[in-house]
């Protein structure tokens, strides 16, 4: 299974492609804008002009695109993956998308003889670059076992979550946790700044204590440096939070923290911050102080 088709060579995908090539896989890639992937082409990735050409001879196909409608397009549009992948291929969607779409991919793919998994990731651009992503896999356990070498090329914390769509449910739970943690970081830094504390001293003081978190470690220094470059786009985080709320609607319990954080991000997106990193949430607090 050394020949992989890869669709979605963006901030995350580009590093994942590089790590797969380092592990000895042949990477066949498709991107809408070839100019944006010239660097990985120069490093050995094989570019194809169409999705059909990209996946036709590949035993495994990986997708990590932006939004649920992008997932539906690359899999279901005429001539794309479900029409073109080789018989028995492993189709691995690593996009964070709707669990409902993940189940549809599995059902329709299995009916055509494909082995389909939902395997969203967490760890951001740094995890993708370092090959230390957490990978949350849903689908048939036998298929998961067959693809462990592929997953190990991109991540270090790889776990089988259960049947089809369970990987997506696990990722949405992860995003709910991030929403609460990152909003806490932003609120705390806003409070500290209003009291004239030295933010670096505060960070050094609390980051190794009970208030420490990955969100503080990664985004505390960026917020203090006013660095809002995206490791993960705010607009994509908005998409993830909306998916979680949609999946949980009607359960009888509200996701109150998530709802409030989503509202803040939506306001920021309306103000033009959707293409910034998730740490741009601090702007919500700055605008109110």
Confidence at residue 1, expressed as pLDDT on a 0 to 100 scale: 64
Residue 99 near residue 43 (C-beta atoms within 8 A): no
Per-residue pLDDT band at 252 (split at 50, 70, 90): confident
- Statement: residue 269 has pLDDT above 90: yes
Helices (H), the chain: 11-22, 38-42, 51-55, 68-76, 81-84, 99-111, 124-130, 141-146, 148-154, 166-194, 199-206, 214-224, 234-248, 256-270, 282-286
Confidence at residue 60, expressed as pLDDT on a 0 to 100 scale: 98
Mean pLDDT of the chain: 95
- pTM (2 decimals)? 0.93
- Long-range contacts of residues 24-32, Cβ cutoff 8 Å, at least 24 apart: 25/150, 25/153, 26/2, 28/3, 28/4, 28/54, 28/55, 28/57, 28/58, 29/5, 29/54, 30/5, 30/6, 30/54, 30/55, 31/7
Q: What is the pLDDT of residues 31-54, one digit of tens each?
A: 989 999 999 999 999 999 999 999
The contacts of residue 144 (CB under 8 Å, 6+ apart) are 117, 137, 160
The mean pLDDT of 117-144, rounded to a whole number, is 96
Per-residue pLDDT band at 273 (split at 50, 70, 90): very high
Per-residue pLDDT band at 254 (split at 50, 70, 90): confident
Instruction: Please give the class, per CATH, of domain 170-286.
Output: mainly alpha
The mean pLDDT of 242-268, rounded to a whole number, is 91
- Statement: residue 289 has pLDDT above 70: no
* Token pair for 74: 């690359």
Q: What is the pLDDT of residues 150-206, one digit of tens each?
A: 999 999 999 999 999 999 999 999 999 999 999 999 999 999 999 999 999 999 999
Q: What is the pLDDT of residues 198-243, one digit of tens each?
A: 999 999 999 999 999 999 999 999 999 999 999 899 999 999 999 9
Portions of the chain given CATH number 3.40.50.720: 3-164
At the fourth CATH level, which superfamily is domain 3-164? NAD(P)-binding Rossmann-like Domain (3.40.50.720)
CA atoms within 13 A on the CB side of 194: 10
The mean pLDDT of 268-283, rounded to a whole number, is 97
Choice among 14, 171, 235, 239 that is catalytic: 171
Q: DSSP state, 64?
A: -
Per-residue pLDDT band at 64 (split at 50, 70, 90): very high
Confidence at residue 253, expressed as pLDDT on a 0 to 100 scale: 77
Per-residue pLDDT band at 251 (split at 50, 70, 90): confident
Q: Is 242 part of the annotated catalytic residue set?
A: no
Residue 165 near residue 99 (C-beta atoms within 8 A): yes
Portions of the chain given CATH number 1.10.1040.10: 170-286
CA distances to 61, 232, 281, 287 from 264, rounded to whole Å, are 36, 17, 7, 11
- How distant is the alpha carbon of residue 283 from its chain centre? 23
């Amino acid at each position: 299974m050394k020949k992989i088709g890869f669709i979605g060579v963006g901030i995350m995908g580009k590093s994942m492609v590089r790590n797969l090539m380092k592990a000895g896989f042949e990477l066949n890639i498709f991107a809408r804008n070839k100019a944006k992937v010239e660097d990985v082409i120069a490093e050995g990735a094989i570019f194809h002009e169409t999705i059909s050409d990209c996946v036709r001879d590949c035993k495994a196909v990986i997708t990590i695109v932006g939004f649920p409608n992008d997932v539906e397009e690359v899999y279901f549009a005429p001539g794309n993956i479900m029409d073109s992948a080789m018989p028995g291929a492993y189709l691995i969607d690593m996009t964070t998308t709707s669990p409902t779409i993940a189940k549809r991919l599995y059902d329709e793919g299995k009916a055509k003889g494909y082995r389909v998994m939902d395997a969203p990731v967490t760890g951001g651009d740094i995890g993708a670059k370092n090959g230390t992503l957490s990978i949350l896999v849903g689908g048939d356990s036998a298929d998961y076992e067959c693809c462990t070498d592929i997953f190990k090329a991109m991540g270090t914390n790889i776990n089988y979550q259960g049947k089809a769509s369970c990987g997506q449910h696990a990722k949405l739970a992860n995003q709910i946790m991030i929403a609460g943690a990152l909003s806490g970081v932003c609120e705390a830094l806003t409070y500290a700044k209003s009291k004239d504390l030295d933010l670096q001293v505060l960070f050094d003081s609390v980051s190794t204590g009970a208030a420490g978190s990955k969100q503080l470690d990664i985004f505390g220094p960026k917020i203090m440096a006013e660095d809002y470059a995206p490791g993960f786009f705010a607009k994509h985080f908005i998409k993830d939070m909306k998916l979680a709320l949609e999946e949980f609607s009607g359960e009888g319990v509200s996701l109150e923290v998530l709802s409030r954080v989503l509202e803040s991000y939506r306001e920021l997106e309306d103000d033009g911050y959707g293409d910034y990193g998730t740490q741009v949430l601090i702007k919500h607090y700055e605008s109110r102080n």
